[in-house]
Structure 1
Amino acid sequence: MSRLDLARTLSYNPILFTRSLKNCVIPCYTFLRSVVLSDFKVVNIWKRHSWIFGAILSKNVIPNIGLLRELGLPQSSITLLVTYHAEIVMRKPESFSELVGEVEQLGFDPQKSSFVHAMHALYGKKTTWRRNEEAYRRWGWSDNDILSAFRLCPLCMIKSEKKIMETMDFLVNKMGWKLGKLAKFPYVFLYSLEKRIIPRCSVVRVLLLKGLMKEDKLSLATIITTSEKYFLNMFVTRYLDRVPQLSNVYQGKAKYSLIL
């Protein structure tokens, strides 16, 4: 742990100075190290959730992790939850058990990391969830669309309202994508609008309007999730002889509407 990290954390959470090193801090470190299996990850927990080092883990954390192990969550998922969402495992066992039960009822597989992502999304259900639910509804998504999208990609329910609205506006109003396609591929909301979605979709829009591609042959997943090398080869380089400005569209130096 760097001196800077140590100083920054203790200055924001000086109550740690009042905790016993022998009876609290060291046992907490030892337990967390056994759970996340890495000193590097323990340092991440220190920087993100330092208050856990002053807690009595036997009250909440240890029984909650025990429940996850009984359910069959793999070590990688438990490490993910504890490292990045320690506030969830700090919940009282009764409340934690209710959250886990809700995720199970929605059909998430404990063997997959999406189980942890669903826990994260539902943890803030009273605030972030409801706000985003209303945002999706304003774009015409039904309750079934929202639930289906959540099951496919739980993290789509924790993005900011601004992110959702701007992504929807670009894909639906400017690019002409149908809402049904977006509901079937909610992963799109995890990607940067400026760095990935706009450049790639603008290129594809040019190809569609010039008749060089057919929309029914395209998958939003293929456009958004493929590596940059693959995208350039499939959607830019191979068409440069017919659309020389395609590189400029991809780089944001030319708007697709100006070259049609």
Structure 2
Amino acid sequence: MLLSARRHNSLLSWFQLSRFRYLSSSTSSFAVDVVAGGIPSPDSHFIVEYLMKSCGLSAAEAAKASKSLAHLPSAKNPDAVLTFMRSQGFNAAHLREIICFQPKYLCWNVEKNLSPKLQTLREFGFSQYEVVDIVHSSPSILSLSIHGRLVPRLKMWESLFGSRHFILKHFRSKKRFFYFNIERVLRPNLKFLRDECGISEERILVVLRVNPDLLSLKPDTLRALVVRADELGVPRKTGKFIWSLSALRMVSKEKVEAQRKFMKSLGWSDSELSSLFSKSPTLLGLSKELLRRKTKYFVEEVGYTLSSLAQNPTLLALSLEKRVIPRLRVMEMLRSKGLWTQEGMPILYFYLSNTKFMNMFVHRYKEVIPELLDIFSEFELGEKGNDASHLDCEN
């Protein structure tokens, strides 16, 4: 009886407080339903209303999230969490997405759970804006223990990437990379690639900065990829080997065989295909239609043989529309005016950066042939920089 009376008085006090806060239009309030006899009884409606009003969730989102918050006795803790997060730079949109991802964050203690983790990220060198970006991009980072998981991972990836810039970049695009197991996955894979495959750490890191998921593979899976790369004929000592692992990860054995069979139907020999894929394994990911169209264009329009393409496979990775066709038309126009006498199109000219190609063949003759500039406007040829390594590719 005494316990029942205490519970009744506690619930009644909570109900009266919630009702008062709601009627006084505070920034947030919990509400309860009143059952028969006037005894207040907690109901999910008060949580749903709170999540909609204070966190900006839709009715459906709030109903789903409320299931994780049924035990909350009042709005005190959620209010404290929201107030703190806003003070750290999180806006309404950020909070809505974070709470949708993990409603239980509203139950956490600000001083014990949230503040130390945001402080750790700032102490690691991230600005307040970057911390907001990281947590918004990957809210589960808040669930990591500071010394057991958060700090070791930050140090591990900084040592691999060499800068916070790449960590932040991958938080935005490849959120899973940060949660790979260090001792069971990352370190064994690094050791295998470096010590058993003879791949320099420098080459490994170049690929990781583009695709850190490669290190996340189970060690047995990575070893199987190495076997496939060996079978493809990619020399381990070349820079192509580590890229071939990344490419093969996305292409099944069955697709590789289907790709080889299709290419043979276009006239490629086994030896030419071995040369082609060993030198440029990323071509395994191109669609059959692209391979057909590019092979046909280089052979019929440019005049290359399949053998020459096999020796220069990155030609097939170039964009026809953005690079190959406009440059070929420039050379044809120069030839028609007697300003270019060499037959064919030397492979080197396809690899020149835009700046060099424009200076050598467009700006140099634009007074005589102003139409040269129209060719580039027509195809909207563009390149991300002036280095020939930035090749326009199609997938």
Q: Which of the five TM-score ranges fits, normalised by the shorter chain?
A: 0.7 to 0.9
Contact preservation (8 Å) 2:335, 2:341? yes
Q: Which of residues 261, 266, 274 in structure 2 aligns to 1:147? A: 274
Of the structure 1 ranges 141-150 and 153-162, higher mean CA displacement relative to structure 2 is found in 153-162
Q: Which of residues 171, 177, 181 in structure 1 aligns to 2:308? A: 181
Output the CA distance in 1 between the equivalents of 2:259 and 2:346: 25
Once superposed, what is the RMSD of the aligned Cα atoms? 3.1
Of the structure 1 ranges 73-82 and 191-200, higher mean CA displacement relative to structure 2 is found in 73-82
Aligned to 2:216: 90
Aligned to 2:193: 68
Aligned to 2:176: 51
**Percent sequence identity over aligned pairs:** 22
Residue type at the aligned position of 1:167 = K
Is residue 35 of structure 2 the alignment partner of residue 35 of structure 1? no
The Cα shift of 1:90 comes to 1.8
Aligned to 1:114: 240
Task: Encode CA deviations 1:63-85: one digit per residue, 9 max, x unaligned.
Answer: 01011221442232121233332
The Cα shift of 1:210 comes to 6.8
The Cα shift of 1:86 comes to 2.6
Residue type at the aligned position of 1:6 = V
Aligned to 1:215: 343
Listed as ranges, the gaps of 5+ residues in structure 2 are 1-125, 380-395
Output the CA distance in 1 between the equivalents of 2:305 and 2:323: 19
Is residue 326 of structure 2 the alignment partner of residue 199 of structure 1? yes
Contact preservation (8 Å) 1:48, 1:84? no
Contact preservation (8 Å) 1:81, 1:116? yes
Task: Encode CA deviations 1:240-259: one digit per residue, 9 max, x unaligned.
Answer: 68766444345438xxxxxx
Residue type at the aligned position of 2:311 = K
Whose Rg is larger?
2
Output the CA distance in 1 between the equivalents of 2:299 and 2:211: 33
Output the CA distance in 2 between the equivalents of 1:17 and 1:78: 29
Aligned to 1:99: 225
Structure 2 residue matching 1:215: 3-state secondary structure: coil
Structure 1 residue matching 2:182: 3-state secondary structure: coil
Q: Normalising to structure 2: TM-score of the pair?
A: 0.53
